[in-house]
Structure 1
Amino acid sequence: MNLISVKGLAVSYGANAVLQNVSMHVAPGEIVTIVGPNGSGKTSLLKAIIGALQPAAGEVTRRPDLRIGYVPQRLHIDPTLPITVGRFMRLTDRVDRKACTKALETAGVPDLFNRQMSQLSGGQFQRVLLARALINQPDILLLDEATQGLDQPGSAAFYRQIEAVRAETGCAILMISHELHVVMSASDRVICLNGHVCCEGTPAVVASAPEYRALFGTGTGGALALYRHDHDHHHHHEAAE
């Protein structure tokens, strides 16, 4: 059974139709990425999926008892506020230290528990947000432009971490992103959205689809190959250490 199924979804703000006739699904353990230009309805789709927005038409079905972990864009924390990573992890959930430590490990930042949030780099901060989303062992992680503000190597490293999380926990991942080449190569399936579903399929299929090229041009093919190379290189490097 799919974790999430969306059928014939329409979303409007007043007279303005943002999404029309959108159907998509996420199966257990799958990494699905939604790409699309600004204003294409990506965030509205995510809001409809988590139930924060009432669709004008269509339906969203979530598997009963589905546990969702949500990784926001950038969370702003007052830099003058003294709060450690460990304390931040336990702000809303009464979870024990062991669960926090485990989640930080899975997110690739095992040694940050006692660090001040204000002293983290952008990449570390995003991984702490990821760890926080992992605490309740979700069936699916939702990421909304989770690498905004990170540079290209930082984004690539973050998405590699996402792949590692899936490999370790088996949880499904639904991501929204505008960083095409980076997320596409980390995805099993890509959905190209522009008010409706323009095309979907494996990264290779979508990258060569005319609808995708019409929206994004053809420049991402080379970048896809480049990332793949980095990716392999990265793993060999790790093995050599």
Structure 2
Amino acid sequence: MLIECHNMSVRIGKRNILSNINLSVHAGEIITLVGPNGAGKSTLFKTLIGALSPSAGLLNKASDLRIGYVPQRLYIDDTLPITVSRFMNLPRSHSPKVVAQALSDAGVAGLDKEQVMDLSGGQFQRVLLARALLGEPNLLLLDEATQGLDHRGTADFYRQIAKVRETRGCAIVMISHELHVVMKQTDWVICLNGHICCQGEPDVISDSQEYRALFGLDSHDDAALNLNEPQLQAASGTR
């Protein structure tokens, strides 16, 4: 167990952003967070990282927890000449071997001498992924890391994430609006909207009433929902 939340709530100012969050992250698994804008997904990430503190409940972390973070976007002045190698060595230096391995694991081996400004959107996101791997994390957090990529680039990125799990053995928690794209690459889906509406395996969640209501989808086959319902966990439950 890397992280465990028990009835955790997070308040910012006078506003309660998250309420009664119960979830667990185990080594080597991929979890996808889905939910509308303003659902508290980024707030949950900030709390897991330690930038925010729970206002109620418990947040337990493994003593050896090492978190790598891939942001939604990162702005770099396009007039700033900086190579991928230099970017990978900010704010502290790493051995060329460690940098090369991280770039390879992220699927962009050999780009170390390229200018960051010359990279495609997909290449740059993979460089950000490689940078997150430098600290040898056992938990990777990806905050909508495919935003701005086309459908093909998004699918390729998620396939690379699955490879990272295989090669590094780290757990991965990622925010995504594209459940249909990540279904094959994720083990567990959590639907968030200020609280956990439902959680379960991706094919079960995609057919759940809670998920479809959350995203305003049309009603689905009630028979299929009834068959899957026992596999759904209540919002207050954990695995």
The TM-score with structure 2 as length reference comes to 0.89
Q: How many aligned residue pairs are there?
A: 219
User: Which residue identity is paired with 2:88?
Assistant: M
Which residue is 1:169 aligned to? 168
Aligned twin of 1:41: 40
Matching residue's letter, 1:26: V
- What does residue range 62-81 of structure 1 map to in structure 2 within 5 Å? 62-81=61-80
Where do 5+ consecutive residues of structure 2 fail to align?
221-239
Give percent identity, aligned residues only.
Answer: 58
Q: Deviations over 1:16-60 (max 9, x none)?
A: 211110110110000001100100110111111111002111121
For 1:160, the aligned partner's letter is R
Task: Output the CA distance in 2 between the equivalents of 1:217 and 1:156.
Answer: 24
Match of 1:26 in 2: 25
Letter paired with 1:179: E
C-alpha deviation, 1:217, in angstroms: 4.1
Deviations 1:124-181 (A, max 9, x none): 0000000000112110110001011111111111000000111111111010112221
| 3-state SS of paired residue (1:165) | helix
1:1-241 aligned within 5 A:
2-218=1-217
For the residues of structure 2 that align with 1:159 and 1:48, how far apart are their CA atoms? Answer: 24
* Aligned residues: CA RMSD: 1.3
Structure whose residues are more often helix by fraction: 1
- Supply the distance in 2 between the matched residues of 1:78 and 1:26 (Cα, whole angstroms): 36
Q: CA deviation at 1:218?
A: 4.2
TM-score when normalising by structure 1 = 0.88
Structure 1 gaps of 5+ residues are: 222-241
Q: Which runs of 4+ in 1 moved over 4 A?
A: none
CA distance in 1, matches of 2:102, 2:14: 43
